[in-house]
A and B are shown apart, each in its own frame.
Chain A
Amino acid sequence: MLVECKNLCKTFGETIALNNINLNIERGKIIGLLGPNGSGKTTLIKILSGLLTKSSGEVTISEKEIGIETKKIVSYLPERTYLSEWMTVKQAVDFFKDFYEDFSEEIAYSMLERLNIKRGDRLKTMSKGTKEKVQLILVMSRDAELFLLDEPIAGVDPAARDYIIKTIIGNYNENASVIISTHLISDVENVLDEVIMIKYGCLVMHKTVDEIREEHGKSVDGLFREVFAC
C-alpha cells in the first residue's frame, strides 16, 4: 500500500479540519480528491506532503512515517506558486535539481521545449497559465512515488487544461500514484481511476469511477452534485 491513513485527525484550535480519516491508496492509480471549498482537501494534501503535522492518528507513505524520507518520494504541486518571480526557467530547474535526487533535467527541458518555453525566460514575464505549466512540469519531472496536485487546473484556459491532463496521462507509471484535488470534476473525470470525496473533514466516499457509473448510472460530477447539494 502506498498511502495508509488510520483515524487521521487534524484540528486547528476549535476547528476540526480532518475527522477520523481512514484511507488506503494503492500504487498505479490516478485519484481525484473531491470536496467543496473548506472540506479539508488541502489540509489532507499538506499532511501527506509534510507541510502540516497531524493532530492524531496514523499516516504512512510507502510504510514510512511522514518526514524527510517521505519528502524524497512525494512530489507536491501547491495551489499557489512558491517559485520566485525573479527566477529564469533555468534557475527554477537548477533549484529543483539541487533539491531532489529524483528530478530529471532532461525530462523537464524536453517538456518545456515542446511548449516553446526557453531557458532564459523569466517567470515574471509569463502569463498565469504558462507559469502554472512550468510549475507542473517541474513537479512531474521527478521520479516520485506519490504526486500531490492541489487544484492544478483551476484558473487556466481550456488549452492549458488539456495540456495538463495529457501531461498527467503521459507521465503515468504503475509504481506511482497521482492525487488531484479539484472541484472542477467534469474536467478530470475521465482520467481518474478512483475518487475520494470529503465533506466537513470526513471521508464520505472512496470508490472507483467505474463503480460509481455502474451503481449510480451517473457521472462522478452528477453524483458529486447530489452528495454535496446545498
Chain B
Amino acid sequence: MPWNFDSSTPIYLQIMEQIKFRIAVGDYKAGDKLDSVRDLASEAEVNPNTMQKALSELEREGLLFTQRTSGRFITENSETITELRRRLADEQLDLFLKKMYNLGYNNKEVVKLLEDYIRGEEQK
C-alpha cells in the first residue's frame, strides 16, 4: 500500500493513521517486525525524525513495542488490535451518519436504507 499525505495536518499524524489502518486490515500482523526508521522514512519519502516521532507515539498508544536489540514490532495483543479495528469502524460510522443527517434522514430511515442497501449488494 503506498503512502499518501495531504497538506493540511502534520505528517506524523498521517503516518500514525496509515500504520493503524495497515494493522487493522492485517497488512501488518500481530508480532510482525517493522522495517528500520530509515527504511520506512525512505519508502514514504518523509523526514526520518518525523517517522521516528510517529512510531514513538504509536508505541505510547500500545500498538507497537520495541525490543531493545532487535527492533520494533506490532503489538502481540490481539485485543488491542480488535479495539483498534472497532475504533476505526466507529470513525467511519460517525462520518457516514453525519452525512446522512445532512441529507435529512433520521436514525430509523438510515437503518432502513442501510439494510435495504446491504440486501441489494448481497443479491448482486
Interface residues of chain A, those whose CB is within 8 Å of chain B, are 28-30, 162, 165-166, 169-170, 172, 186, 189-193, 209-210, 213-214, 217-219, 221-222
B82 in contact (CB, < 8 A): no
A40 CB, nearest partner CB in chain B, Å: 25
Give complex CA distance A202, B8 in Å. Answer: 27
Chain B residues within 8 Å of A209, by CB? 10-11, 47, 50
B residues 15-52 with Cβ under 8 Å of A?
Answer: 38, 41-42, 44-50
Determine the interface band of chain B, counting residues with CB < 8 A from chain A. 10 to 19
Contact B12 A210 (CB under 8 A): yes
The answer, among A166, A193, A217, A222, for a CB contact under 8 Å with B47, is: A193
B91 CB, nearest partner CB in chain A, Å: 20
Chain A residues within 8 Å of B7, by CB? 186, 189, 213, 218-219, 221-222
Contact A170 B42 (CB under 8 A): yes
A–B pairs, 5, beta carbons within 8 Å: A30-B47, A172-B41, A210-B10, A214-B10, A222-B7
Contact A191 B46 (CB under 8 A): yes
Chain B residues within 8 Å of A217, by CB? 8-9
Give complex CA distance A117, B62 in Å. Answer: 46
